[in-house]
Amino acid sequence: MTHLLGALLIAAASVALGFSYVKEEKRRLQALRSAERMLKTMAGELETRLTPLPELISRLACRCDGAAAAFAEELNLRLCQLGEREFSALWAESVETAFNILSGEEREMLSALGLCLGRYELERQLTELSLTLDRLSHAIDRHSAALPEKRRLGLGLAWAGGALLVIVLI
């Protein structure tokens, strides 16, 4: 009886591990989509209203959701250091904190945008925003296309590993 109960617990744990992997991949895709919406909002605000960056960041904290809202809140808190430190450093630290679920390449793409914002003329800032949005869109497309395969792979490997462990232990 205890062997059967142990086998069921091992199988349940391995399936739960598979589901947590799939959930993490979905969270990563949601974070990318959240960043995309935030950058689109930023581009619209800068292009139409010429909103100053501190005010824009404050508005983003209220308008965005998910990881983008956490990013805007984090950056808004760091803006008090703006005279002592460069905006790009504050931006990069906020990206690392709020978008830690993203890969290093994706975080680097978002961090690079901070080097341009608030530093150059409006057209260059909008161009950089547009380029970053294009790269972000490609990353979202890649992750969206790979998600069903990762779901099957994650759940399949977790189930197979659990079944193998149960067979070995019984």
Q: What is the pLDDT of residues 89-122, one digit of tens each?
A: 999 999 999 999 999 999 999 999 999 988 888 8
What confidence tens digit (pLDDT) does each residue in 46-90 have? Answer: 999 988 889 999 999 999 999 999 999 999 999 999 889 999 999
Is position 2 within any domain?
Answer: no
Residues of the domain holding 26: 7-169
The pTM of this model reads 0.86
Q: How many domains does the chain have?
A: 1
Q: What is the mean pLDDT of the chain?
A: 91
Is position 151 within any domain?
Answer: yes
- pLDDT bracket for residue 6 (50, 70, 90): confident
Is position 142 within any domain?
Answer: yes
Is position 135 within any domain?
Answer: yes
Is position 1 within any domain?
Answer: no
Structural contact between residues 99 and 71, judged by C-beta atoms closer than 8 angstroms: yes
CA distance 18 to 159: 7
